[in-house]
Amino acid sequence: MPDMPQDFQKYGFPDGKRYNSFVGYFKRRYGERLQKIVLDAGFTCPNRDGKVGRGGCTYCDNAAFHPSYSTAGKSLRQQMDEGIEFHKVRYRTTEHYLAYFQSFSNTYAPLERLVSLSVEALEHPDVVGIVIGTRPDCVDDEKLDFLAALSRGEVLKGWKRSLAGEPDRTAPIVIVEYGIESCYDATLERINRGHGFEIAKSAVEMTAARGLDVGAHFILGLPGETRQMMLDSCSIINALPIRSVKFHQLQIVKGTRMEKEYAEKPQDFVRFTLEEYLDFFTDMLERLRPDLFIERFVGEVPPRFVNETPWGLIRNVELIRLLEKRLEERSTWQGRLLEGQKNGQVL
């Protein structure tokens, strides 16, 4: 890689990268690599069971987004044990794991259930923390207070783990990830989300105010959104008190209502070739604040769940390499267009 500009080096991006890659984040913070184990605890969502809607989000088939070891019919312990064995094949030196409650909305239940599941997951000797994936309309003060107390070591007395960088850790790692998906109310209504953006903004602020790490998830290419709308959303994302963000390109999953909508109104969708997406996401990175960790910028769905794979069967590691190459080719980096601006705004 050629020498980087001095004004770029000041951000201290990891491993000489041109963006704030999440890869290696846990190792830098806790002294060792931590792997997430995806769990299905049998939750549902309020836009599925009738509380705010029926049928769920129009793009969603949850089976397309989680590994085979993660199924609701198995106990948490079985899922964790099988998940650890699954990841040990690839990450043989990993010693500790995060229990990742991913499927559906994992705070959509009484507090007692959230407490029980969290304690059960943290009883596993190789688990050092939990990641709670949920919707912003499924949290409240009581649940967030519990998660904050858990992260301070006030819930599990006597709990202890020995991490490489923290040999006497007495409180679990607690991260909350919100599926926000879009910053635009019209889009959220169209995809049957069941809440507006202000609900998401409030939930993120409530969570961050308690000292919890917050992540957010967004989909690029939802119906009705133009490229400019997606670029403009960067300033809204920048203003959220989040530590990390996940993006992925919209993929039309078979059997979903969005598959039918796409067949009827393809003109309402922005669809990216791989080259277009690399350039577009580079445009986004230039507009995202440099302290924001990019946990993911693409999504992978098994080929059996989609009618087409326009990018081929290219894997995530190769996509990361291509993004880094594109940033280098354009001599740019995350946050470049924010320099000299205020409040994360690109004029």
Confirm whether 123 is domain-assigned: yes
Q: How far is CA 28 from the centre of its chain?
A: 19
Is the distance from CB of 259 to CB of 252 less than 8 angstroms?
yes
Return the CATH number at 68. Answer: 3.80.30.30
Q: Are 103 and 43 in contact (CB under 8 A)?
A: yes
No. of H helices and E strands in the chain? 11, 7
Residue 22 lies in domain? 6-338
Q: pLDDT tens digits, residue range 158-176?
A: 999 999 999 999 999 999 9
> Residue 12: left (phi > 0), alpha (psi -120 to 50), or beta?
left
Per-residue pLDDT tens digits for 317-339: 999 999 999 999 999 999 999 97
Position 132: which residue type?
Answer: I
Tell me how long the chain is: 347
Structure tokens at 305: 């769940």
Provide the 10 A C-beta neighbour count for residue 28: 10
Q: Is 124 part of a structural domain of the chain?
A: yes
Q: Is residue 346 part of a domain?
A: no
Residue 61 lies in a domain: yes
User: Average pLDDT of the chain?
Assistant: 92
Q: In what helix (H) or strand (E) does residue 40 lie, and over which residues does it extend? A: none
Position 57 in a domain: yes
Q: Burial code of 96-107, b = ≥16 C-beta within 10 A, e = fewer?
A: bbbbbbbbbbbb
- The residues near 110 (Cβ < 8 Å, ≥ 6 apart) are none
Judged by DSSP in three states, 105 sits in coil
Question: What total number of domains does the chain contain?
Answer: 1
Residue 347 belongs to a domain: no
344 in any annotated domain: no
Predicted confidence (pLDDT) per residue in 134-156, tens digit: 999 999 999 999 999 999 999 99
- pLDDT per position as a tens digit, 222-234: 999 999 999 999 9
Q: What is the mean pLDDT of residues 182-194?
A: 98
State pLDDT tens for residues 237-251.
999 999 999 999 999
Does any domain span residue 1? no
Q: What is the CA radius of gyration of the chain?
A: 20
